[in-house]
Amino acid sequence: MFLIREGLLKPMYKYVPTLTDYILREQENFPRATGRFTMLMTQIENSAKIIASHVKASGLVDIIGKTGNTNTFGEEVQKLDEFSNKLLVDTLISSGEVYAVVSEEIPDPVFAPKESKGEYIVYFDPLDGSSNIDTNCPIGTIFSIYHKDGGLLQPGNKQVAAGYIIYGSSVMFVYTFGHGVNGFTLDPAIGSFLLSHPDIKIPEDGVYYSINQAYEALFDESTKKYLEHLRTEAKSKLRFVGSLVADAHRTFIKGGIFLYVADKKQPEGKLRLMIEVNPFAFLTEQAGGKALGAKGINPLDIMPKHIHQLSPFVMGSKKNVELFRSF
């Protein structure tokens, strides 16, 4: 210790907070906190690690074959989705911390049994971007947490926390409690998420725009004009993975804009308000960016009518989103 203090010996290790350290420290800011919320976050963290290990192994074991089942919306469900869904439902319901969970893969909410009912409602998409599972492209888990007192249908501005886990070239856990956004990268050697991206802020503007341009013929005139402007007048670059978690994550880090707008075939868009749009709108706001929902209003202010309600979604750097809005 003395040698280190005197600068005679360089320390070998630098202390880097883990996700668990960080959540525990944040809990200290709430003097009346009971630790239950920390327990819930720990359950999500542990599930993410298990899903990450399965995603990594998916090319090795025969787990990615399609099951032939379809989800609530008639979409094909693949085995990793089913696994991740079951893991999260079972873990959270048996944790004693949740009142109910709502999964993208299940039409109705799942309620915890009377004897182990907790205080929170967790909305989640267990494995978003499922069309990318067997292509080695990034996929992710999205979660959004509410206090049970507001009931199942609450506007996004009532979220207690929201975040996502991206299973990409590295695995990252990114979340907000409403005090900024922090990102943690999984160190596979020790099995811990380490703080790698403190206080993430979306750049003021960026060159990337992300939209499924194949639907352009179905977009309204103003969106077509906006895209034409990007192609001809602005120095823009198109990036679209088809995995919201990956496209939004890039937008958080590099700036730019992500859009999944309404079109003639999907008049309400494709993304789910409570499961996909609101968690990302909360994160976007906390990272200093801007989000738009139906009719260009803040999705966080929309009172949902249905747990699986759809919504158009635009998010990203303030300047890019304002430019889109000006069209």
Regarding 45 and contact with Mg ion (CB under 5 A), the answer is no
Which residues would be at the binding site for ligand AHM (CB under 6 A)? 75, 104, 125, 128-130, 212, 242-244, 260, 270
Q: Is residue 25 a contact partner of residue 17, using CB atoms and an 8 Å limit?
A: yes
Q: How far is the CB of 237 from Mg ion (least distance, A)?
A: 24
- Of 45, 97, 105, 125, which one interacts with Mg ion (CB under 5 A)? 125
Smaller CB separation from Mg ion, 51 or 112:
51
For residues 228 and 233, give the distance between their C-alpha atoms in angstroms, rounded to a whole number. Answer: 8
Q: In this complex, which beta carbon is closest to Mg ion, that of residue 125 or of residue 285?
A: 125
34/70 with CB nearer ligand AHM:
70
| 3-state SS, one letter per residue, for 176-238 | ECCCCEEEEEEECCCCEEEEEECCCCCCCCCCEEECCHHHHHHCCHHHHHHHHHHHHCCCCEE
Helix axes 19-27, 36-57, angle to 10 degrees: 160
Asked if 247 interacts with Mg ion (CB under 5 A), we say no
Q: Report the residue number, 154 or 243, with the smaller CB distance to ligand AHM.
A: 243
Q: Using the CB atoms, write b or e for 193-218: b if 16+ within 10 Å.
A: bbebeeebebbebbbbbbbeeebeee
Q: Taking a C-beta distance cutoff of 8 angstroms, is the pair 132, 139 a contact?
A: yes
165, two tokens: 């886990």
Residue placing its CB nearer to ligand AHM in the complex, 97 or 125: 125
On the 0-12 / 13-18 / 19+ scale of CB atoms within 10 A, 19 is buried
User: Which residue lies nearer to ligand AHM by CB, 75 or 82?
Assistant: 75
Minimum CB–partner distance for residue 283 and ligand AHM (Å): 15
Which of Mg ion, ligand AHM, none is residue 270 near (CB under 5 to 8 Å by kind)?
A: ligand AHM
Distance of CA 22 to the CA centre of its chain: 19
Query: From the CB of 274, what's the least distance to Mg ion, in Å?
Result: 12
Binding partner at 212 among Mg ion, ligand AHM, none, C-beta below 5 to 8 Å by kind: ligand AHM
- Which of the ranges 42-50, 88-96, 121-129, 304-312 carries the binding residues for Mg ion, by CB under 5 A? 121-129
Q: Which residues bind Mg ion (CB under 5 A)?
A: 125, 128
